[in-house]
Structure 1
Amino acid sequence: MTGLRERKKLQTRTAISKAAIALFLRSGFDRVSVVEVAEAAEVSKRTLFKYFPTKEDLVLHRFADHETETARVVLDRAAGETPLAALHRFFLDRLAERDPAYGLCDDPEVLAFYRMVSTTDSLRARLMQYGTRGDAALTDALRAANAAQTTAYLAARQINRTFLVLVELNWRQLAEGRRADDLYPEAVANANHAFDLLRGGLGDHFG
C-alpha cells in the first residue's frame, strides 16, 4: 500500500503536470515560462524542478512509462511465445483499447497534446532521447532471448522504429479529421503488414 507521503508526492506531481499541460495547450509551449507553471500549480519554482528537472519533462514525462515498453513485452511474454509474436499481439491490443500512446485516440485534448509535441522542436529533440533508452532496453531483452549482441542491437532499432512509424501513421490520419473507430481496421491492417515485414527479416531469430 502506498504511504501518505508518497500519495502526497504523486498528487503534487500530478497537479504540476496538469497545470503545465493546460497552459502549454492554451498558449503554446515556448510562450509559457516555468515560473508561470509554478504559479498556476501553486508551488515554488524549486519544488517544480524537484519533480520535473527540465521544462520539457513537464510534457514528455507522459511518455516515460512507455520508454521501455517493448522490452517489458519481450521479457514478460508467455512461455513458447516468440518476441515478435508477443510484440505483435501487444500492439494490436493497444489499438483495440484506443491507447493514446499508440495513435488511435481522437479525444480533442489528446490530439492537441500530440500536435504540440510534433510541432515543438525542443520537445521533438528531447523525445529522441527516450527512443535511445528504449532501444537499449529492448536490445538487452532480445539478448536475454539468446540473440547475439549485434543481431539484438539491429533488431531493437527496427522494431522500435516500426512501432514509431505505425503510431505516426495513425496520428497523421486523425490530425486530418478521421475518427479513431473508422481508422481502426486500417490501423490493424498496417500493423499486420508491418509485422509480416519484420518477420521476413527477423523471423529466423525472433519468430
Structure 2
Amino acid sequence: MDGKPGLRERKKQRTRAAISDAAIALFLEHGFDQVSVARVAEAAEVSKRTLFAYFPTKEDLVVHRLADHETELARVVRARPPRTDPLTAVREHYLEGLRERDPITGLNDHPQVRRVHRMIVDAPSLVARMERFKTGAERALAQALHETAAIPELTARLAAAQIVVVRWTLAEDNADRLAAGESADARYAGAVADAEHAFALLENGLRQPFPQQ
C-alpha cells in the first residue's frame, strides 16, 4: 500500500469539494441566510440526502474548511520539541502563522478570504458555530496540556481557555484592521508586536503551572 487514497475515497473527496465550492460561491453572492440547502444541492448537482451525508448542517458547509484548526494547538503542544514548554511552542507556531499569512491569524487580505470572514461574522448561526469551534479547541488543548505537561486537569483547562482566547482575540484584531483597509503587509509588524505582548502576559500568568523544562 502506498498510503494514497483509493478511487472510491478520491471520488468522495471530489464530491465533498464540489458541494463545498458550490455552497461558498452561492453564499458569497447572495448571503448565507438567503441561500437554502436545496439550492446548494441543485448547484452541486447532488441530492439533498447526499449533501447531508457530507455536511450534516448548513453551517458545516462553511466551517468544515476550518476543521483542522480546531485541534491545531493541541497538535502543536503534543509535537513540541523536548524541553520546550507548551506556551513557547504555541507562541512560535502563531508567529509562524503570521509570517505565512495563515488566514486563521486574521492576517490575510486575499479578497476571497476577506469575503468569507465577512460572511461568517454577518451570519448569527455561523458566529454561534465558531463559538462551538472555540470551545472544541479549548477542550482539545486542555487534554494535550494535561497529558503532556503533567499539570492538574483544572489547571490545564484554565490555561487552555486563556491561550485560545488570546489567539482568538489577536486574530479578530488583525481581521478588523484589514477590514478597515489596512493591508496584511502593513499590519504585519504590529501584529507581531501585539502577539509578543499577549504571549508575554500569558507567560507571566502561566509560569507557575509550566515549570522550566
Interval containing the TM-score (normalised by the shorter chain) = over 0.9
Identity %: 55
Select 2:154's aligned residue among 150, 154, 163: 150
**Residue 35 in 1 paired to residue 51 in 2?**
no
Match of 1:4 in 2: 7
Q: Does 1:107 align with 2:120?
A: no
Choose which of 125, 130, 148 in structure 2 pairs with 1:127.
Answer: 130
Matched with 1:179 is 183
Shift of 1:140: 0.7
Distance in 1 (CA, whole Å) between partners of 2:172 and 2:132 is 17
Following superposition, the deviation at residue 134 of structure 1 comes to 1.2
Q: Which secondary structure does the structure 2 equivalent of 1:91 belong to?
A: helix
1:1-207 → structure 2 map (5 Å cutoff): 1-144=4-147, 145-206=149-210
Count of matched residue pairs: 207
Structure 2 residues without counterparts, runs of 5 or longer: none
- Alignment gaps of 5+ in structure 1: none
In 1, Cα distance between equivalents of 2:65 and 2:162: 23
CA RMSD of aligned residues (A): 0.8
TM-score where L is the length of structure 1: 0.98
CA distance in 2, matches of 1:112, 1:31: 16
CA deviation digits over 1:23-81, x for unaligned, max 9?
00000001000011001111111100000000010011111110011111100000111
